[in-house]
Amino acid sequence: MREIVLVYLDRSGGLQKFVHDCKKYNDSKQSYAVYRFIISINPSDIAELDATLGNYILHNPIQAAQIFQSVCFIAIKTLSLIEQLQTEAQISILLKPTHLPPLPSYVLSLSAFPFNYTSQRFYMSEGIAIAMGTVTKYTQGARFLCAEETCPFSEGRFRYIRVHMPGATESATVRNDFVCSLCSSPLQEDMKFRVLGDKQIVEMIDAKVLNALKGYSSDKSYFRIQTFTVFLR
Distance separating alpha carbons of residues 113 and 152, to the nearest angstrom = 53
Quote the pLDDT of residue 11.
93
Q: How far is CA 130 from the centre of its chain?
A: 25
Burial bucket for residue 49 (CB in 10 Å: 0-12, 13-18, 19+): middle
**CATH architecture designation of domain 1-99:** 2-Layer Sandwich (3.30)
Distance separating alpha carbons of residues 143 and 189, to the nearest angstrom = 6
Where does 23-154 show beta strands of DSSP type E?
35-41, 91-97, 127-132, 136-146
- 22, 37, 87, 93 from 121: Cα distances, Å: 28, 19, 27, 15
Quote the pLDDT of residue 216.
58
Q: For the segment 66-96, what is each residue's pLDDT rounded down to a tens digit? A: 999 999 999 999 999 999 898 999 999 999 9
Distance separating alpha carbons of residues 171 and 164, to the nearest angstrom = 10
Q: For the segment 98-133, what is each residue's pLDDT rounded down to a tens digit? A: 999 988 888 887 766 556 667 788 888 888 999 999
Distance separating alpha carbons of residues 209 and 216, to the nearest angstrom = 10
Instruction: Give the global pTM.
Output: 0.85
125's CB contacts (< 8 A; 6+ apart) are 107, 108, 109, 110
Domain with CATH 3.30.1640 in the chain: 1-99
Question: Contact 147/178 with Cβ under 8 angstroms?
Answer: no
Does pLDDT of 222 surpass 70? no
Q: For the segment 5-50, what is each residue's pLDDT rounded down to a tens digit? A: 999 999 999 999 999 999 999 998 887 889 999 999 999 999 999 9
Task: Return the closest-CA partner of residue 109 out of 205, 223, 7.
Answer: 205
Q: For the segment 56-70, what is each residue's pLDDT rounded down to a tens digit? A: 999 999 999 999 999
